[in-house]
């Protein structure tokens, strides 16, 4: 087959990966010269721990296995099975972790509560204030700023992959010879199937193709430090993450929300701490969530100050200098229980979007399901 993939973020790139590795030819079209969206502006976390039970967790676990296999073939992905720790300080936080460990699917996630000493054995950089921690063995990480480029290089080596950057798709057509897309260079690209993985680009042609698309845009702020000077051997989250991830829903979480108010600044910006060390030793730290349009065009300093305070309290030391700050926008299904929105918008043309914060985690399995459903 000849498959046209539009959008070179992680979801689109994974669709290209599955098509090529099933023996097909792929033409991959991206509106930027190289991807610049949410797929690069994230933690690079393969985040199994907080996923909802059922389909979402199954998707994340399958994606985790696929990431590991792809990482063996493409070492520049920087895949590492580093797991995650969520430090705990209060009885209410420990109770939420205990409820998580009591889940029927806890073993699949690799959940375990460890003492403060056990947490420091897993991650010696944790010299700050904690009484225990929730360990999730199945979490992992890749390098988000270079992952798509590394995958593209591997795909190009197949001889069945063409990347066309700096081209925006303006029209989608269908006919007896199959679907086709026309780009803003005036070129038409015809194939046996078209998959649109356009991320947060929800206007223009996407609105014409799917006017009732049940997807919204979400904006977040993040930052990255200079090298820490020592390994951060696991990813880190704080107990505020319990408030935002469906895996932690329980009576214990209700008690936490009622009895331990979130910091007002964190609540106002819908914040949690997530942190991963990059290959160069720097720390990617976030994040905030903004849902109301129009989004602000600037980034606010107070949320960064809050995150710095939380991180330093866990590490028991000052953070290195902040080298980068940025904002990103991703697409999320308005029904947040759905892993992704997958819709046939024309004969032979599919739109796959809206994974939200699951995109980096689940993209290999999302693309695999598309490939299976379309009988690639």
Give a yes or no: residue 34 inside a domain.
Answer: yes
Rounded to whole angstroms, how far apart are CA atoms 126 and 88? 12
Q: What is the DSSP string of 160-200?
A: SEEEEES--EEEEE--TT--EEEETTS-EEE-SEEEE--TT
Statement: residue 200 has pLDDT above 90 = yes
Q: Left if phi > 0, otherwise alpha if psi is -120 to 50, otherwise beta: which for 155?
A: alpha
Could you read off the pLDDT of 6-37 as tens digits, one per residue?
999 999 999 999 999 999 999 999 999 999 99
- The whole domain housing 2 covers 1-80+139-214+339-376
Residue 119 lies in a domain: no
In a domain, 107, yes or no: no
The answer as to whether 190 is a domain residue is: yes
Inter-helix orientation angle 359-373/10-20, to 10°? 40
CB 10 within 8 A of CB 147: yes
9 within domain boundaries: yes
Position 177 scores a pLDDT of 84
Asked whether residue 191 carries a pLDDT value surpassing 90, the answer given is yes
Per the structure, the count of domains in the chain is 1
Domain containing residue 376: CATH number: 3.50.50.60
Give tens-digit pLDDT for 31-50.
999 999 999 999 999 999 99
Considering the domain boundaries, does residue 148 fall inside one? yes
DSSP-derived secondary structure for 84-98:
EEEEE-SHHHHHHHH
pLDDT, mean over the chain: 96
pLDDT band at 145 (very low <50, low <70, confident <90, very high): very high
Residue 68 located in a structural domain: yes
Segment holding 329, helix H or strand E:
strand 322-333
What CA–CA distance (Å, rounded) separates 225 from 227?
6
* 169 band by pLDDT with thresholds 50, 70 and 90: very high
Percent above pLDDT 70 for the chain = 100
Residue 229 pLDDT = 97
Task: With a cut of 90, say whether residue 231 has pLDDT above it.
Answer: yes
Q: Does 176 have pLDDT greater than 90?
A: no
Please tell me the pTM assigned to this model.
0.97
Instruction: Indicate whether 249 belongs to any domain.
Output: no
Place of tokens 């999302």: 366
Question: Residue 175: pLDDT band by 50, 70, 90 thresholds?
Answer: confident
């Amino acid at each position: 087959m000849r498959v046209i993939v539009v959008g070179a973020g992680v979801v689109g790139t994974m669709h290209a990966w599955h098509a090529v590795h099933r023996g097909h030819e792929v033409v991959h079209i991206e509106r930027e010269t190289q991807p610049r969206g949410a797929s690069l502006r994230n933690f690079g976390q393969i985040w199994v721990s907080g996923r909802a039970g059922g389909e979402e967790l199954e998707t994340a676990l399958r994606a985790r296995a696929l990431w590991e296999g792809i990482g063996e073939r493409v070492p520049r992905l920087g895949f590492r099975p580093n797991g995650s720790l969520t430090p705990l300080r209060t009885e209410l936080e420990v109770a939420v972790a205990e409820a998580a460990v009591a889940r029927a699917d806890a073993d699949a996630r690799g959940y375990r509560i460890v003492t403060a000493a056990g947490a420091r054995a897993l991650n010696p950089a944790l010299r700050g204030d904690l009484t225990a921690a929730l360990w999730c063995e199945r979490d992992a990480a890749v390098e988000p700023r270079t992952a798509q480029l590394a995958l593209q290089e591997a795909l190009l080596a197949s001889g069945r992959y063409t990347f066309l950057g700096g081209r925006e798709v303006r029209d989608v057509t269908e006919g007896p010879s199959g679907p086709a897309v026309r780009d803003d260079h005036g070129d038409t690209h015809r194939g046996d199937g078209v998959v649109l993985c356009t991320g947060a680009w929800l206007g223009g042609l996407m609105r014409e193709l799917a006017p009732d698309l049940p997807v919204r845009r979400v904006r977040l702020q993040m930052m990255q430090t200079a090298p820490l000077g020592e390994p951060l051997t696991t990813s880190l989250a704080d107990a505020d993450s319990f408030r935002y991830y469906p895996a932690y829903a329980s009576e214990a979480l209700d008690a936490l929300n009622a009895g331990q108010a979130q910091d007002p600044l964190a609540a106002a910006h819908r914040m949690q701490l997530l942190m991963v060390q990059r290959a160069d030793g720097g720390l990617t730290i976030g994040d905030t969530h903004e849902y109301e349009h129009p989004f602000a065009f600037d980034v606010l300093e107070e949320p960064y100050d809050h995150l710095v305070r939380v991180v330093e309290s866990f590490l028991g030391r000052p953070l290195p200098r902040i080298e980068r700050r940025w904002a990103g926008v991703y697409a999320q299904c308005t029904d947040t229980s759905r892993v992704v929105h997958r819709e046939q918008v024309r004969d032979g043309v599919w739109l796959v979007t809206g994974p939200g914060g699951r995109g980096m985690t689940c993209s290999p399995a999302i693309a695999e399901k598309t490939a299976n459903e379309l009988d690639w």
